[in-house]
Structure 1
Amino acid sequence: MCGFVELETMGLNQCVSVALLVVVIECVFGASSRSSAYRYQNVVQDSQEVDARGRWLALQATNGVRSLRQQSTPLSSNLLTSNIQFKQDMTNPTNQLFWKFPVISEEPAQPHINFELVQPESANSVAALCLENGVQVEVKLDFFGTGQLLEPTLFSLGGCAAVDMDAEAGVLIFQSALQDCGSQQFVTEDELVYLFAIEYTAAPFQGTSVIRASSATVDIECHYPRKHNVSSDLLQPAWVPFASSAVAEEVLVFSLTLMTADWMYERPSSVFFLGDVLNFCASVKPFNHVPLRIFVDHCVATANQDMSSGSLYSFIENHGCFTDAKYTGSSSTFLPRVENDQLQFQLESFRFENEGSGDIFITCFLKASIADSQIDGLHKACSFKPNGWISSDGSDVACGCCDSSCEVADVPSASPGGPFFFF
């Protein structure tokens, strides 16, 4: 026996109930025929089940009004059977619970499209002009071609700020000597090269950390030929004798060319009609000489290439006096001089009387003087106007002798190698 209970004042029903409860406990803890592993399982794992089943047996015994002595079957056997059945009922419930992980609907697949990343095009926002001794650069404030004007102070030419700004056009202007503003120089076999850089340094908007442009650098190169004389000084080696230098200085190339109406090109044809105007351009190339100013000393028109025979008409004479307008009232004239080594003049077309061929041969004598020399009676280009003689060089005083006789000077005679021209 696991325990003993004395009943003194309790009723019969209560006594039976307590006795059955004691039996249940005895069966759980005192069943010696069972293995220790089975007892351990009943005590630890199924303690609640045993307790519940014991109460159920007590209730059955009370309803049947039976005593422990009247039971023909040991309670321990009935309890074991009932306990096993109870465990089976608990492990096999009639209502089962089913649960599945929720299925998430899939996103529709991205359709295949033809996509091409468009690369930004060049903004063409920088222009440079290489001068003889410097460079001039213009930069658009719309530097990246996006329509956004950038801050002018963020631009520099090798560290030099802009010297001017065209606000209406949105253009910055930079100027620098060839050796300034961080320029770099190197020499090739044929050229001198000067490198400059326009730099833009991106900065955030005032009061923010927002930047909407990247820093950028645009390189600029100025190329100059190594074997070209860009100044008025002579380029002669020190070891060359003076005689050779003097001969080189005397090499001058004169030309007299018929030009088109716009003075852009040489006229491909020498055929004219009466009333047309002949455009002439006289020029000289000094090469290694100091700068020169060219003059048309005198010109004659003949019916034959031989100046000693046939009709002859002198229309420029007296060392540069254009007399055709004075003699015939034509529009023939010298044009205002633009370059010292060029002189343009116009001759109104005509023909000789009793000359059936209509051919005219024009012969002119050209000469040149130092460009810095003054205009005088022997070196001038004068045109006749209703109000008097006018110089193409602006020195009208030198034309005062055209109505008389200018000072006579030794003029070289015509020779095959002289500056005479025939048309």
Structure 2
Amino acid sequence: MASGDVSTRLLIIITIECVYGAWSNYNLNSQHVNTGNIQAPARFGPKKPLPLRQEPSVALRLKSQSKQTLEAPLAWRFPVMSEAKPEAKFEQWEPVPAESVTAQCGESGVLVEVRQDLLGNSQPIQSADLTLGGCAATGVDSQLIIYESDLQSCGSQVMMTEDSLIYTFTLIYEPSALGNTPILKTNAAMVDIQCHYTRKHNVSSSDLKPIWTPYTSTKVAEEQFYFTIRLMTDDWHSERPSNQYFLGNIINIEAAIMQYNHMPLRVFVDHCVATLEPDMNAEPRYSFIQNLGCLVDAKLTGSSSRFLPRSEDNKLQIQLEAFRFQQQSSDSTYIICHLRAEPASSFAVSSGNHKACSFINGWRSADGDDQVCRCCETSCSIRKARGLTTVDPVWEGDTMLGPIEIKT
């Protein structure tokens, strides 16, 4: 074959291959052929198909951009501060008859001797409050009140039986208000005395037992602001489970301010009143803490009421002798106190503004400095120090305990 013919034939073959390659590329692009099925030339080795990038749908994009909301309300709350309450060791006290009256019956009269501690509560009575059937005492000394009467005098009553004559006398105790206060710390009592006379023998006297008349109510303790006031057991370890007392009992009261995570605070009881209603302005009322912390009950009535020595800054312990109001039918007694607390660090210098004073052979402070109690005999008022640019914060409020149930 001639060289010209060979050249012409090669040119035709090359032209055909170029045209065929161009037409193949155009056909692939126009028909969007899946490039994953196109195999690379063997000289480059096998290749993994490239994944196609897929655009998210409109609904998916809107969902991802929608506002997020809470499916349930938050369950978190501020922590509640609580104090562990140990089991209270408490035993309800019951009164027993006082063996404080003796009698000697004669042929024509009776001699009655009554101990000054008639009710067995270690508190002497006023002789003017005790009569034998309306007759006053014929003699009084430091230990005894003495009555003498004819058999037919002093309200005696006679009863005849088959074997004897019985003359009955009645000792009547009607307590009067203590000092200039409207309160009583003992209840009325009556003691029957009988003289038995036989028709053939001498006389004799019977056993004597006082007659006690009970009365009752109930108790509620409330917390206002951060302050609390509550009844406590005899050992002060826990809240008292019963609100019942008897006249002459000691009522343990704890006034406190809750500390939480606050700075250390010292609490004071500025004044307290006892009323028949849950209203500190009700009448009658008895103010037993006055003058910014002076407990005057012992001074006015001769009781053993007092503040105990302070053991913790945020607590103050009060012992109050149980009482009732004179000539009142209501048995309920409410105690309403005004409490005040200030930072414990501010008491480097003693002051009559901050005190808890009791009358025990003179005024005594629960915090140890008796000098702060001097104004209890006059008038104590809040005085602010001069020249101070800062004032310590003060927390104060009224809190109530009651009604308290008193029995005789």
Q: TM-score surpassing 0.5?
A: no
User: TM-score, structure 2 length as denominator?
Assistant: 0.39
Query: Highest relative contact order (Cα 8 Å, sep 6+), 1 or 2?
Result: 2
TM-score in terms of structure 1 length: 0.38
Q: Which has the higher strand share?
A: 2
**Larger Cα-atom Rg:** 1
